[in-house]
Amino acid sequence: MDMQPEDKSANRGQSPLRLIIMGGLGLLLVGLIFIAGLAFGLGIGALRQAAVPDENVSTQGGGSSDAVDADESSGFNLNPLLPGSEGGNDAPSNEVPEDVDNFDIFWEAWNQIEDRYYYDLPDEQDRVYGAIQGLTDSLDDPYTRFIDPERTQIEMEDMSGEFEGIGAYVEEAPQGGVFILSLFDGGPAEQAGVEAEDIVVAVDGEDITDLILDQAILLIRGPAGSDVTLTIFREGETELIDIIVTRGRIEIPTVEYELLEGTDIGYIALTRFDSSATDRLNEALSDLIDQGANSLVLDLRGNPGGFLDQAVSVADVFLPSGVVLIQRDVDGNQRDYEGRNGQLGEDIPMVVLINGGSASASEIFAAAMRDYERATLIGTTTFGKGSVQTLYSLSDGSQLRVTTANFYSPNDIEINEVGVEPDIEVEIPDDADPEADPQLDRAIEFLQTGQ
């Protein structure tokens, strides 16, 4: 699409898509991007322990003021206590403001660069994107940011819980290229012979060592059924290896669960609050109960967040009806998000595991469990991401995420820059045995002994 639409009025009503609440460490979701990110999934999403997402409210374009988060089908009730509190309802227009006194300086600088810059200029669109990025950077807020169309498409696809790609968790290699952190079991990359700790240095013959991570990932990802040739450096090999991978449709594992051996304790790891989180958690919990589980460990460690409606509806599985979180905007308008009633897990004794990688939606859930005295929190203090971003879809497919509110626990306790403290603190030392899990061990002990 053109960068500047002919009919500026056509896009004035654009507002966000949905409430995404993710923390802010970094996770580009190449399947995930949550903010300033390091870990990406080649089609999958960021590494579970590595990221913390950002929070967003958004509405689809075309002037609609009905945010998706108000949908009754999401399993919770929205109860705005004061008028004007719905995020995204007052969408800005595309008209150029007349009261920006210093905007002429921008064009002076633009023209000087365009007329006199010695080296090759980036194309006009890239310069416009750079200017918008500079505007968001000037706010000194890591959660207010601009996302270009390609990255937007990747993020939204990944938040759906599925993507097309090779099935690998990756990060940028120190010397350039893409470092394979781990592989999806049975995924295309694993089947083709790619191994953890491989470094991809070229894609279909194109050197990627000078590319930033998301650019490299765009080359690696592609339609299911298509082939991609990865040129790989592997420790111990004297020559580079070419591996042809047939891309596939990858389902991101939102929930992993088991009945802990020798116990009647169910264990569920919820890796993020994507659009399928509640359904998958209910399926896992139902199966565990059928297997004989009488108590539960819900593991939110490293869970960077996700959709707000999923945070509320997952909490609704375990809580009686009532407020799950409180949101306030810059004008002090307050909005309560309420669960309808407890469901399958309302009465099951439970522990929630948290750590510094538990952010945003994870913190909403953990704080609600604490305030209702519904679960015991074990681990370390959470990330502390309690702000809300409204996600605006721009006319060319890019997105602007703007911090518009903060959220608080049901008891009106601050979360932003504070986090949620555990009831029982259990640190994991840096030199701990990688096979040991003292936080999980403490959770099992608590559920078995009550102390």
Residue 364 has pLDDT above 90, yes or no: yes
DSSP secondary structure string, 204-237? Answer: TTEE-TTS-HHHHHHHH---TT-EEEEEEE-TT-
d(CA 114, CA 92): 29
**pLDDT value of position 67:** 30
CA distances from 381 to 7, 53, 357, 378, 409 (A): 49, 16, 9, 9, 15
**pLDDT value of position 22:** 56
Which residue(s) pair with 180 in the sheet? 170
Instruction: Indicate the residue among 251, 281, 304 that finishes a domain.
Output: 251
Catalytic: which of 371, 387, 393, 398?
371
d(CA 91, CA 86): 11
CA distances from 31 to 170, 211, 229, 265 (A): 10, 18, 20, 32
Catalytic: which of 74, 313, 385, 387?
385
**pLDDT value of position 320:** 87
Residue 367 has pLDDT above 60, yes or no: yes
Instruction: Indicate the residue among 251, 275, 296 that finishes a domain.
Output: 251
309 lies in the same domain as 420: yes
**pLDDT value of position 93:** 59
pLDDT tens figures, 205-249 = 999 999 988 789 889 999 999 999 999 999 999 999 999 999 999
Tell me which H or E stretch contains 200: strand 199-203
The strand pair at 376-379 and 350-354 is best described as: parallel
pLDDT tens figures, 411-445 = 999 999 999 999 999 999 888 888 899 999 999 99
247 found inside a domain: yes
Domain with 169 in it = 162-251
Q: Indicate which CATH number applies to the domain containing 199.
A: 2.30.42.10
d(CA 44, CA 445): 34
Tell me which H or E stretch contains 305: strand 305-307
**pLDDT value of position 200:** 98
Catalytic: which of 15, 295, 360, 398?
360
Can 387 be counted among the known catalytic residues?
no
CB-CB neighbours of 441 under 10 Å: 12
Angle CA 144–305–328, to nearest 5:
55
Residue 355 has pLDDT above 80, yes or no: yes
87 CB contacts (<8 Å, ≥6 apart)?
16, 19, 57, 67, 327, 329, 388, 390, 404, 405
**pLDDT value of position 306:** 85
100 found inside a domain: no
**Across residues 161-180, what is the average pLDDT?**
88
410 lies in the same domain as 283: yes
pLDDT band at residue 154 using 50, 70 and 90 as cut-offs: confident
Which residue(s) pair with 243 in the sheet? 230
**pLDDT value of position 96:** 63
**pLDDT value of position 122:** 94
Residue 97 has pLDDT above 70, yes or no: no
264 lies in the same domain as 175: no
Tokens for 132? Answer: 């918008």
353 lies in the same domain as 266: yes
203 found inside a domain: yes
53 found inside a domain: no
Residue 144 has pLDDT above 80, yes or no: yes
**pLDDT value of position 153:** 77
pLDDT band at residue 250 using 50, 70 and 90 as cut-offs: confident
Can 441 be counted among the known catalytic residues?
no
Instruction: Indicate the residue among 251, 283, 310 that finishes a domain.
Output: 251
Residue 56 has pLDDT above 60, yes or no: no
d(CA 271, CA 184): 14
pLDDT band at residue 342 using 50, 70 and 90 as cut-offs: low
Tokens 């819980």 -> residue: 161
Can 371 be counted among the known catalytic residues?
yes
pTM over 0.95: no
280 lies in the same domain as 416: yes
179 lies in the same domain as 300: no
Q: Indicate which CATH number applies to the domain containing 264.
A: 3.90.226.10
pLDDT tens figures, 373-417 = 999 999 999 999 999 888 899 999 999 999 999 999 999 999 999
168 CB contacts (<8 Å, ≥6 apart)?
41, 42, 43, 44, 180, 181, 182, 183, 184, 187, 189, 194
Contact, 43 vs 165, CB < 8 A? yes
More confident residue, 359 or 169: 359
**pLDDT value of position 102:** 77
**Across residues 285-299, what is the average pLDDT?**
98
Residues in the chain: 451
d(CA 163, CA 174): 26
Tokens for 135? Answer: 């505007």
pLDDT band at residue 307 using 50, 70 and 90 as cut-offs: confident
**What's the structural domain count of the chain?**
2
223 lies in the same domain as 264: no
DSSP secondary structure string, 139-178? Answer: TT-TTSEEE-HHHHHHHHHHHTTEEEE--EEEEE-TTSSE
237 lies in the same domain as 272: no
**Across residues 59-64, what is the average pLDDT?**
30
201 CB contacts (<8 Å, ≥6 apart)?
176, 177, 207, 208, 209, 231, 232, 233, 240
276 found inside a domain: yes
Share the mean pLDDT of the chain. 80
pLDDT band at residue 196 using 50, 70 and 90 as cut-offs: very high
